[in-house]
Amino acid sequence: MKQIVCMKWGPLYPAEYANKLYAMVRRNTTGPIRFVCMTDDPSGLRSEIESVPCPTVALAPPYNNTGWRKIALWASELPGMEGDWLFLDLDVIVTGSLDDFFDFAPEKSFIVMQNWTQPGKGIGNTSVFRFRVGAHPYIYDRLVPEFKAILAQFNNEQIYISKTVSEMAYWPDEWCALFKTHCVPPMPQRWWQTPSRPASARVVAFPGDPNPPDALIGHWPTRKWYKKLYKHIRPATWIADYWRE
């Protein structure tokens, strides 16, 4: 059984994101799967998705509902879950086979994609990672009592994990791509060249803006006029081939 989990809380990502993520995973994974969505609102989820209450972290707002909430996955126990799980952010697109993600380095308890905005600095991007339930509970146990010191040292949860976990491995570089790093042409070419998908990429991550539906129509959200000079993309219509139910 290949096990996949995502997290959905608050109004930012509607059920459509989880439904399309499930569909992409199902099309690109052989054999039986268990797909769990940890969520505070299961309405609208397709029947194949197993919804469970989204775990929380006892941090003060706004940190309790930012990426720091994902640290709840590192608790010593997750109800009804055991073994190895592939975590996928809701705003990724699956563009190739995921089978190898379940088989790669089975002895490793934490495997993550390289953070391509800070390559070579020992930081993973937690848009795509495989973890073993209960393998590193100290990451969760330290969060609340030491949060002030953690926040002073680490800008976000993925840096905290990367610099704290006792064992970390990376997926092969070619498996995971960042949309803004690997797909969007540099300036000024992005004004006339369309974003392209790296042929070897199996997952394309969209941290921050734009999200897949925005990139699909060539929209890069920004409120400041001067940022529109470089936050510009042409429609990446190929996204529709993957981001669908």
- Supply 87's token pair: 């975590």
Q: Which of 147, 172, 197 is the last residue of a domain?
A: 172
pLDDT at 130 over 90: yes
Same domain, 115 and 185: no
Q: How far apart are CA 198 and CA 174, in angstroms?
A: 8
Per-residue pLDDT band at 221 (split at 50, 70, 90): very high
pLDDT at 223 over 90: no
Per-residue pLDDT band at 210 (split at 50, 70, 90): very high
Q: Please check whether residue 222 is in contact with residue 231, taking contact to mean a CB–CB distance below 8 angstroms.
A: yes
Rounded to an integer, the average pLDDT of 228-241 is: 96
Rounded to an integer, the average pLDDT of 235-244 is: 98
Count: domains in the chain: 2
Confidence (pLDDT) at 119: 87
Same domain, 153 and 187: no
Question: Does the reported pTM lie above 0.85?
Answer: yes
The CATH number assigned to the domain holding 168 equals 3.90.550.10
* Cβ contacts of 104 within 8 Å, gap of 6 or more: 111, 130, 171, 172
pLDDT in tens, 62-94: 999 999 999 999 999 999 999 999 999 999 999
Same domain, 92 and 136: yes
> What does DSSP say about strands 110-114 and 124-132: parallel, antiparallel, or unpaired?
antiparallel
Which domain does 199 fall in, by range? Answer: 176-241
Percent of the chain exceeding pLDDT 90 equals 96
Q: Please check whether residue 102 is in contact with residue 129, taking contact to mean a CB–CB distance below 8 angstroms.
A: no
Same domain, 32 and 108: yes
Which amino acid would we find at residue 213? P
Q: Which of 172, 188, 210 is the last residue of a domain?
A: 172
Same domain, 67 and 162: yes
Rounded to an integer, the average pLDDT of 103-119 is: 95
pLDDT at 225 over 90: no
pLDDT at 35 over 90: yes
Same domain, 151 and 206: no
pLDDT in tens, 138-172: 999 999 999 999 999 999 999 999 999 999 999 99
Same domain, 21 and 59: yes
Confidence (pLDDT) at 4: 98
pLDDT in tens, 168-199: 999 999 999 999 999 999 999 999 999 999 99
Q: Which of 172, 188, 222 is the last residue of a domain?
A: 172
